[in-house]
């Protein structure tokens, strides 16, 4: 047998539905897989019959590689495969059938129906796909005592006939789904220290966006602020990204100094949010982002009533995307756990949002917000805040690089 390496079979999600652009999506997925598996003993990654086959030189790394692939957007499922070397069709299929039975017994769970799905990459193989499925299906059905069902089976055993071997596998692990990284463009995500906004950023990452994170902190300068928790959230998001993530740290003080004499308590929260989205917009432009993302969920808190969400940016030029708008807290929390952010998100943190007055207007009027904005010189606050913002680059290991010096830090010595 010439086919010795261990193989992970990966299936992609929506890419299969793409028309002419499919090769572009496939290339991005392949790049993301390569980058996730950097440093692992990967011999080759080949595209065969709508699957990616990752051949490993060292089978003992299969689980570690599977773990890494589970964070690659664009993969629907993946599975380690058993490779049966080819000799003659009768003997091969009997052995592939034995392996299929073994896997089916191990993985069938509480399924009530099954199917054998066969694809031949080697079309010269003397037995056709249907006949292979029929033969192996008979053996599997007898072993697990379930009826075969061709449409919507609960459980599938896959058989892939290659020139050198026959692969047998079940879809053992769910992938992250969505679209491959970099297939949708850049987006600016307003990241608080809470549960919602990391989920919102992750959802857009799952749609192929590269996020640029922006956090407004309570200090006068980055050096003064206690931002460890937010950096940790950025690190967690970076574990889902093939590249390190940019995180802008913006001081709130320019807003507070100007709002103090002009903004009444009932408008403070919503004006602060205007400050955040307008600051986000400036940084988004700087980073070539096409929109803003927030973790707003309709009606979750008083500042997120429909009139308030609608009123916040009458003068905004970029679209504000709110991927959580229709989700309840329970569902958002489930996502947060799945992402791995929950334990960090629930740590105490004095977000500058929590320092705002607790009783905002429920029906903010856009004209009133514009009036307050010019009274307090909101644009001046945004200009000051972005001028003294600090840019970090955070990778999955938590290493961070400061890209720009914080001017307030340098000027104060
Ligand atoms: P989260 O759980 O993400 O903190 P939340 O339910 O607490 O959200 P708010 O605090 O009202 O909601 O904030 C709504 C959205 O505004 C957040 O999801 C986030 O996108 C943005 N936001 C809030 N605070 C900040 C901040 N300090 N810096 C940047 N963006 C923020
Ligand atoms: Mg919050």
Ligand 1: which of 194, 320, 346 to mutate, most ligand atoms within 8 Å of CB?
Answer: 194
* Sheet with 390-394: strands ordered across: 320-321, 292-293, 185-190, 209-217, 245-251, 390-394, 400-402
- Domain 185-409 in CATH: superfamily? HUPs (3.40.50.620)
Question: With 60 as the cut, is the pLDDT of residue 409 above it?
Answer: no
pLDDT of residue 41: 94
Q: Which atom of ligand 1 is nearest to the CA of 345?
A: 2
φ and ψ of 150, to 5 deg: -75, -35
Instruction: Summarize pLDDT for 194-209 with one digit per residue, the tens.
Output: 999 999 999 999 999 9
Q: How far is the CA of 353 from the centre of ligand 1 (A)?
A: 7
The better pLDDT of the pair 384, 87 is held by: 384
Mean pLDDT check: name the lowest of 142-156, 254-268, 293-307, 397-411.
397-411
Domain ranges of the chain: 7-174, 185-409
Ligand 1: which of 250, 353, 385 to mutate, most ligand atoms within 8 Å of CB?
Answer: 353
Q: Starting from the CA of residue 216, give the closest ligand.
A: 1
Question: With 60 as the cut, is the pLDDT of residue 3 above it?
Answer: no
Lining ligand 1 with CB less than 6 A are: 190-192, 194-197, 214-216, 276, 294-296, 300-301, 303, 351-353
Closest protein CA for atom 6 of ligand 1: 196
DSSP collapsed to 3 states, 336-382: HHHHCCHHHHCCCCCCHHHHCCCCCCCCCCHHHHHHHHHHHCHHHHH
The Cα 66–Cα 75 span in angstroms is 11
pLDDT band at 114 (very low <50, low <70, confident <90, very high): very high
Residues 6+ apart with CB under 8 A from 10: 33, 51, 52, 53, 54, 69, 75, 77, 78, 175
Longest dimension (CA), the chain: 86
Instruction: Summarize pLDDT for 314-338 with one digit per residue, the tens.
Output: 899 999 999 999 999 999 999 999 9
Instruction: Summarize pLDDT for 56-90 with one digit per residue, the tens.
Output: 999 889 889 999 999 999 999 999 999 898 888 88
Q: How far is the CA of 192 from the centre of ligand 2 (A)?
A: 5
pLDDT of residue 410: 44
Q: How far is the CA of 401 from the centre of ligand 1 (A)?
A: 24
Quote the mean pLDDT of the chain.
90
Closest protein CA for atom 31 of ligand 1: 192
Q: CATH code for 7-174?
A: 3.30.2130.30
Q: Starting from the CA of residue 320, give the closest ligand.
A: 1
Q: How far is the CA of 371 from the centre of ligand 2 (A)?
A: 26
pLDDT of residue 18: 72
Q: Give yes or no for a contact between 65 and 58, defined as CB atoms under 8 angstroms apart.
A: no
pLDDT of residue 90: 83
pTM of the prediction?
0.90
Q: How far is the CA of 256 from the centre of ligand 1 (A)?
A: 17
Could you list which residues have their CB under 5 Å from ion ligand 2?
Answer: 192, 194, 353
> Strand 400-402 to strand 75-85: parallel, antiparallel, or no bridges (unpaired)?
unpaired
Q: Starting from the CA of residue 279, give the closest ligand.
A: 1
pLDDT of residue 404: 67
DSSP 260-316: TTT--HHHHHHHHHHHHHHHHHHHHHHTT---EE----TTSSGGGSHHHHHHS-TT-
Q: How far is the CA of 365 from the centre of ligand 1 (A)?
A: 21
The Cα 298–Cα 302 span in angstroms is 9
Q: Which atom of ligand 1 is nearest to the CA of 189?
A: 20
pLDDT of residue 44: 92
How far is residue 73 from each of residues 132, 335, 360, measured CA to CA in Å?
Answer: 32, 15, 38
Instruction: Summarize pLDDT for 358-380 with one digit per residue, the tens.
Output: 787 888 888 899 999 999 999 99
pLDDT of residue 88: 87
Crossing angle of the two packed helices 378-387 and 265-286, in degrees rounded to 10: 50
Q: How far is the CA of 268 from the centre of ligand 1 (A)?
A: 15
Where is 331: in which H helix or E strand?
A: helix 329-339
């Amino acid at each position: 047998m010439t086919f010795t390496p261990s193989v992970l079979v990966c299936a992609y999600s929506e890419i299969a539905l793409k028309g002419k652009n499919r090769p572009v999506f496939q290339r991005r997925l392949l790049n993301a897989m390569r980058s996730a598996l950097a440093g692992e003993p990967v011999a080759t990654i080949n595209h065969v019959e709508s699957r990616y086959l990752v051949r490993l030189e060292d089978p003992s790394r299969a689980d570690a590689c599977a773990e890494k692939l589970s964070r690659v957007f664009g993969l629907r499922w993946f599975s380690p495969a058993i490779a049966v070397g080819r000799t003659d069709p009768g003997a091969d299929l009997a052995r592939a059938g034995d392996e299929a039975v073994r896997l089916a017994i191990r993985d069938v769970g509480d399924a009530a129906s099954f199917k054998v799905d066969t694809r031949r990459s080697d079309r010269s193989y003397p037995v056709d796909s249907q006949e292979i499925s029929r033969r192996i299906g008979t053996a599997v059905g007898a072993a697990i005592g379930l009826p075969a069902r061709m449409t919507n089976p609960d459980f599938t055993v896959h058989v892939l006939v290659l020139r050198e071997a026959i692969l047998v596998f079940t879809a053992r692990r769910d992938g992250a789904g969505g679209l491959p990284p970099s297939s949708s463009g850049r987006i600016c995500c307003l990241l608080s220290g809470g549960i919602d906004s990391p989920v919102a950023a992750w959802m857009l990452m799952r749609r192929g966006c590269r996020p640029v994170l922006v956090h407004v902190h309570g200090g006068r300068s980055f050096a003064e602020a206690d931002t460890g928790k937010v950096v940790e959230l950025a690190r967690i998001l970076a574990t889902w990204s093939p590249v390190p993530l940019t995180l802008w740290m913006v001081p709130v003080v320019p807003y507070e100094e100007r709002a103090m004499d002009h903004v009444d308590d009932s408008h403070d929260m919503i004006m602060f949010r205007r400050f955040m989205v307008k600051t986000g917009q400036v940084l988004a432009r700087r980073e070539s982002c096409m929109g803003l993302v927030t973790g707003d969920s309709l009606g979750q808190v008083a500042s997120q009533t429909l009139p308030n969400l609608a009123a916040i940016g009458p003068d905004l030029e970029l679209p504000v995307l709110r991927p959580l708008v229709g989700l309840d807290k329970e569902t958002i929390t489930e996502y947060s756990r799945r992402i791995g952010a929950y334990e960090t998100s629930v740590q105490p943190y004095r977000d500058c949002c929590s320092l705002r007055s607790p009783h905002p207007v429920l029906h903010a009027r856009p004209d009133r917000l514009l009036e307050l904005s010019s009274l307090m010189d909101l644009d001046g606050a945004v200009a000051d805040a972005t001028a003294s913002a600090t840019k970090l680059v955070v990778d999955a290991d938590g290493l961070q690089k400061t890209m720009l010096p914080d001017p307030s830090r340098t000027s104060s010595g």
